[in-house]
């Protein structure tokens, strides 16, 4: 899942933020990283040892000034390119909604949660003023963690084999009192029947 650091000048980000200055792009990436770790804090609580919530809260406390500055810069960017405050606020709200939804995953939840936990720990203990550096270095990796891996031949989740022995259930093999009729069906044969479940 590891990816090299980004600069914010990659075509993908230039498309997402047309006309943005390098500072505005960096602010957007900081805000995206905060949103991703927020989603992880909500989505990854099934595994308490990941410390998703405590680390996210530590990030909000330790990097609150940098995060607020990035939000203010992003707000000004959307107002600038949309000409009016109301249109800019609507565009920012739309961006934020899309931003959160891109980090919501089901199939890739395990990989995303593990990766987000590592990044959140790194960010929680980083010196103040370093959150934007972490966002640039880890955005690519976090995006890679959203991709589900595995297929039918090499399933990600282990299979569970359920096996049981089942007698012949043909009605002619059973008497009125539920007893096996050996004359009609011969000795009872409890053949092995197996079902494979959970192969995904």
| Per-position pLDDT tens, the chain of length 200 | 788 888 877 777 656 788 888 899 899 999 999 999 999 999 999 999 999 999 999 999 999 999 999 999 999 999 999 988 999 999 999 988 888 888 888 778 888 999 999 999 999 999 999 999 999 999 989 888 888 765 555 555 555 555 556 777 888 888 888 888 888 888 877 654 444 444 44
Question: What integer pLDDT is reported at residue 198 of this predicted model?
Answer: 45
167 in helix, strand or coil?
A: coil
pTM (two decimals):
0.71
Instruction: Specify whether 75 is located in the same domain as 135.
Output: yes
Instruction: Specify whether 106 is located in the same domain as 20.
Output: yes
Instruction: Specify whether 35 is located in the same domain as 133.
Output: yes
Question: What integer pLDDT is reported at residue 194 of this predicted model?
Answer: 43
Instruction: Specify whether 25 is located in the same domain as 80.
Output: yes
Residue 44: inside a domain, yes or no?
yes
Query: What's the number of domains the chain is made of?
Result: 2
| CA–CA dist 57, 60 (Å, integer) | 5
Helix, strand, coil % (nearest 5) of the chain? 60, 10, 35
Residue 18: inside a domain, yes or no?
yes
Question: What integer pLDDT is reported at residue 162 of this predicted model?
Answer: 55
Question: What integer pLDDT is reported at residue 195 of this predicted model?
Answer: 44
Instruction: Specify whether 164 is located in the same domain as 114.
Output: no
Instruction: Specify whether 168 is located in the same domain as 134.
Output: no
Instruction: Specify whether 137 is located in the same domain as 79.
Output: yes
Instruction: Specify whether 28 is located in the same domain as 121.
Output: yes
Instruction: Specify whether 65 is located in the same domain as 128.
Output: yes
Supply the range of the domain harboring residue 170.
160-197
Question: What integer pLDDT is reported at residue 196 of this predicted model?
Answer: 43
| CA–CA dist 29, 20 (Å, integer) | 12
| Residue 176, CA distances (Å) to 167, 172, 179 in order | 17, 10, 7
Instruction: Specify whether 42 is located in the same domain as 138.
Output: yes
Strand partners, 195: 162
Please, are residues 28 and 77 in contact by the beta-carbon 8 Å criterion?
A: yes
């Amino acid at each position: 899942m590891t990816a090299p650091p980004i600069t914010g000048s990659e075509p993908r980000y230039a498309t997402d933020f047309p006309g943005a200055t390098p500072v505005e792009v960096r602010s957007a990436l900081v805000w995206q990283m905060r949103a991703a770790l927020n989603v992880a804090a909500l989505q990854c609580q099934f595994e308490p040892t990941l410390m998703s919530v405590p680390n996210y809260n530590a990030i909000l406390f330790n990097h609150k000034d940098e995060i607020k500055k990035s939000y203010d810069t992003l707000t000004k960017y959307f107002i600038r390119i949309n000409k009016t405050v109301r249109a800019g606020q609507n565009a920012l709200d739309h961006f934020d909604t899309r931003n959160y939804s891109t980090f919501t995953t089901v199939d890739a939840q395990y990989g995303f949660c593990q990766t987000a936990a590592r990044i959140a720990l790194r960010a929680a203990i980083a010196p103040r003023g370093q959150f934007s550096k972490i966002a640039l270095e880890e955005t690519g990796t976090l995006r890679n963690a959203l991709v589900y891996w595995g297929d039918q031949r090499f399933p990600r989740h282990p299979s569970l084999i359920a096996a049981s022995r089942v007698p012949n259930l043909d009605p002619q093999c059973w008497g009125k009192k539920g007893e096996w009729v050996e004359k009609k069906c011969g000795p009872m044969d409890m053949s092995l029947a197996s079902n494979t479940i959970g192969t995904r």
